[in-house]
Amino acid sequence: MTEAPKLTNTDFAKAIERNKDNTLLLLEVLAVSAAVVGYVFGWGMAAIRDIWAMPPAELSGLTVGWILHDLFAARPRSEALIGAGAMLAASIVWGVVMLHAGARLLSSLAHARPADPEKAPERLLIDVIKEMAIAAGLPAPQAMVIETPALNAFAAGASPERAIIAVTSGLLDACSRDEVQGVVAHEMGHIADYDVRYATVVAGAASAVVLVSHLSWGGRALTLSRSGSTAARAGLGALVLVVMLALSLVAPLAARLVQFAISRQREYLADAASVKLTRNPSGLIHALERLERGNTDLAEEGSPLVTLCIAAPSSEAPDDFLASHPPVADRIARLRNLGEVAVPSGRAA
């Protein structure tokens, strides 16, 4: 039998510094990307306007080379600079919003509500979160519940002081106390090493890129609806639109790549943190086994919530190179070998 892989790189202090640095780097990359998107969109609108306003005698001098030169080599158009500036400013504002209000925005997106201490399963969640916060030496995150039969959970927030842990009612009903504790400790691990800050910003950034892509489609439709019928103008305008179309096609993919740029190691590290806090690997192992067998569709593929969840949607192929999470079986195998801890292989009832 092949030996299960051992979990490595569990230096939590280094992970905290790495995730803080990654957050700042991500914000810088997103700002530059937003400026490029705004620049190209502003350029395209201005170029199409000029093509349709140009006297017929000048059209013969316009070629693909002219379009490429106008975009890459000519003096920047004022509309392009305005577009770049507007998108840069918007990205900075959005980044600040996500850092300060990301937890509330994402919990609202998931339709999460504060846990009710009058309900036994939710009282248990509140108590377990407090226990794991004490074990981690952190303030207790706000306990949130999502009314759905799906089995899943996530943490969000810019810092331990502003974090939330949201758990589905389905998971609370299906899991034992030890299993809930393992899940909560996993999410507390994300909070403790500031991975949750990075993940929250990524989730917000991904949704913003998709929104910009949708808006750009609206802008193109408006441009085409106001176009004339001259074949030469239409052809040149179409070439400009190809550049913008390419951008709109790349934007959702870029959002997905950025969203999943969070290394799979973050899930392994949070699993290790769960064991560190609970001293009980079997709780998380049995919870993961339930998730592997059950419905984990808290969010659809492409949703900014996907990378925050403890488990990917049931429809996601774990061997996909764009998969948001490592295979559950691999996570369980690593947990069984973590610190040479012997854990029974039997599945939870």
As for how many domains the chain has, the answer is 2
pLDDT at position 220 over 50:
no
- Please identify which of the residues 79, 122, 179, 187 carries the catalytic annotation: 187
- Domain termination residue (choose one: 232, 259, 286): 259
Looking at the fold, whether 98 and 235 belong to one and the same domain comes out as yes
pLDDT band at 125 (very low <50, low <70, confident <90, very high): very high
132 and 38, same structural domain? no
Alpha-carbon distance of 80 to 85, in angstroms, equals 9
For the cut 90, the answer to whether the pLDDT of residue 283 exceeds it is yes
What are the tens digits of pLDDT across the range 304-321? 788 889 998 887 776 666
In a domain, 53, yes or no: yes
In this predicted model, what pLDDT tens digit does every residue of 133-152 receive, in sequence order?
999 999 999 999 999 999 99
Asked if residue 219 and residue 81 are part of one domain, the reply reads: yes
294 and 169 within one domain: yes
Q: Pick the more confident residue, 77 or 217.
A: 77
Query: Is residue 187 flagged as an active site residue?
Result: yes
- Above pLDDT 70, what percent of the chain? 73
Among 259, 277, 294, the domain-final residue is 259
Count of other CB atoms within 10 angstroms of residue 206: 25
Q: What is the pLDDT of residues 257-270, one digit of tens each?
A: 665 655 567 888 89
Residue 272 lies in a domain: yes
* pLDDT value for 26: 67
Residue positions counted in the chain: 349
One domain for residues 243 and 276: no
Q: Give bridge partners of residue 240 from the DSSP assignment.
A: none
Residue 1 reports pLDDT greater than 60 = no
- Using DSSP bridges, classify how beta strands 142-146 and 112-114 pair: parallel, antiparallel or unpaired: antiparallel
> Pick the residue with more confidence: 126 or 299?
126
Residue type, 206: A
Residues 174 and 212 occupy one common structural domain: no
Query: Stretch 7-28: mean pLDDT, rounded?
Result: 63
Same domain for 43 and 102? yes
120 in any annotated domain = yes
Residues with Cβ within 8 Å of residue 154, at least 6 apart in sequence: 106, 110, 165, 166, 187, 298, 305, 308, 309, 310
- Choosing from 259, 278, 313, the residue where a domain stops is 259
Q: What value does the mean pLDDT take over residues 267-276?
A: 90
Q: What CA–CA distance (Å, rounded) separates 138 from 191? A: 9
Mark whether 186 and 202 lie in a shared domain: no
Which two tokens mark 12?
Answer: 């939590």
Question: Are 117 and 155 within one domain?
Answer: yes
> Token pair for residue 5?
């892989």
Q: What mean pLDDT value characterizes the chain? A: 80
Of 283, 313, 327, give the one whose Cα is nearest residue 148: 313
Q: Alpha-carbon torsion 230, 232, 233, 239, what sign?
A: positive
Q: Give yes or no: residues 314 and 224 share one domain.
A: no
Domain span at 186? 110-195+263-340
Residue 117 has pLDDT above 70, yes or no: yes
pLDDT in the model for residue 254: 63
Any domain includes 7: no
The model's pLDDT over 171-204, given as tens digits with 9 standing for 90+, comes to 999 999 999 999 999 999 999 988 888 778 776 6
**pLDDT greater than 90 at residue 20:** no
One domain, residues 43 and 174:
no
The CATH number of the domain holding residue 307 is: 3.30.2010.10
227 domain-assigned = yes
> Can you give the pTM of this predicted structure?
0.74
Q: What pLDDT score does 216 carry?
A: 53
| Residues 26, 96 within the same domain | yes
Q: Is 160 in contact with 236 (CB distance < 8 Å)?
A: no
